[in-house]
Amino acid sequence: MSKHKVVSVYKFYKVEGDTVKRLKIECPRCGRGYFMAEHEDRYTCGACRYTKFKSKK
């Protein structure tokens, strides 16, 4: 058994008719394919550690 966590990439996309919609935000530094983790008050990229804070409403 591998000690690494298996990521289910299909959970990051949603198919609507003939189009594919991304459900998570992609990192502006790393580009396509690098999704940001969503926390309570921020989004964080695991590859480059870029952080984008959510606006308070």
Using 50, 70 and 90 to split pLDDT, how confident is the model at 30?
very high
Q: What is d(CA 4, CA 57) in angstroms, rounded to the nearest whole number?
A: 37
Residues with Cβ within 8 Å of residue 41, at least 6 apart in sequence: 53, 54
Q: What is d(CA 30, CA 50) in angstroms, rounded to the nearest whole number?
A: 9
Using 50, 70 and 90 to split pLDDT, how confident is the model at 10?
confident
- pLDDT score, position 1: 57
- Which of 23, 4, 34, 40 minimizes the C-alpha distance to 50? 34
pTM, two decimal places: 0.70
Res. 45: pLDDT tops 90: yes
- pLDDT score, position 2: 64
